[in-house]
Amino acid sequence: MRKLLVVFALVLLAEVSFAQSFYAIRKDRAVILVVGTGTSTYFGELANPGDYIDAKPNINAGLQLYFTPRISARAELTWFTLEGTDSKADDASRVSRNLSFKSNNLELGFTGAFNLFPNGNRYYRRPYFNAYGFGGFGLLYYNPTTEYQGTKYALQPLNTEGADYSRIGLVIPFGLGVRLKAGPNFNVAIEGGYRKTFTDYLDDVSTVHLGPSAFSDPVAAALSDRRPELGKLAKPTGTQRGNPDNDDGYFLLNLKIEYYLPWDLGGQNSGRTYSKKRSANYRYNRKGGIRR
């Protein structure tokens, strides 16, 4: 986060220094580079309800394109982490369950956005403040892991609940953002978006305990029920381990910089600059017309 703020300050200084020269050589620009960082918050069986403080980092980058003065589309890749543990729970029964996970994730998202205020007929004539809503779809790669006796294990291959779930899934991102024009060529935005998933296994916890006899792998048996690590008896087969009625989800909060790349995709203003003055090689004739 600190490095991003330093970069932002340097870019802002450059924009202020060269603003006058920009207006002498400006072109229309259609493609926007978007980079940002922020936090990711996990919602699932290993999170405390209403606890949003234990947020984890995320980094994202993408490209955005406007189709109308109000409507744009964006493709974006986001790396983020999620984490949850029973040891920090407010519920004693969860503390005794003693499950935990951590996951490094990748999301490839495709979203459309609708702006509250329209942009001007040139990109640099856009409003200084705007708000927008967005929604779309994405692909998520997730890989819940945990530590056991000093070693990190990926949980999905161990089938701790007997479920052979995929580590790639569909997500539906949607949310709101506000945008400030910080210079002729770039904006600063703050954006929050929830991701609806279609899996309850972001944390590898969903249904019931299978019991120690269901596993031939001793590590899988140990990680399916970690109560014995606290000196408690293992749960009988069929005892509730998670809540399959609610899918897991996550929320991303980001600070983003949007930079207008010097591309106009061959539009009507392609290659046109505004630094060229009208040629002085003309004369007025006596009837008021112009003769070159």
Query: What domains does the chain contain, in order, with CATH numbers?
Result: 2-262 (2.40.160.20)
Q: Could you report the per-residue pLDDT of 51-64, keeping only the tens digit for each? A: 777 789 999 999 99
Confidence of residue 265 (pLDDT cuts 50, 70, 90): low
The model carries a pTM of 0.82
Residues 6+ apart with CB under 8 A from 223: 146, 148, 153, 155, 158, 160
Q: Could you report the per-residue pLDDT of 93-107, keeping only the tens digit for each? A: 999 999 999 999 999
Confidence of residue 9 (pLDDT cuts 50, 70, 90): low
The predicted pLDDT at position 248 comes to 97
Q: Which residue has the tokens 């006899």?
A: 213
Q: Could you report the per-residue pLDDT of 120-179, keeping only the tens digit for each? A: 888 888 999 999 999 999 999 999 999 999 999 999 999 999 999 999 999 999 999 999
Q: Could you report the per-residue pLDDT of 217-240, keeping only the tens digit for each? A: 999 999 999 999 999 999 999 999
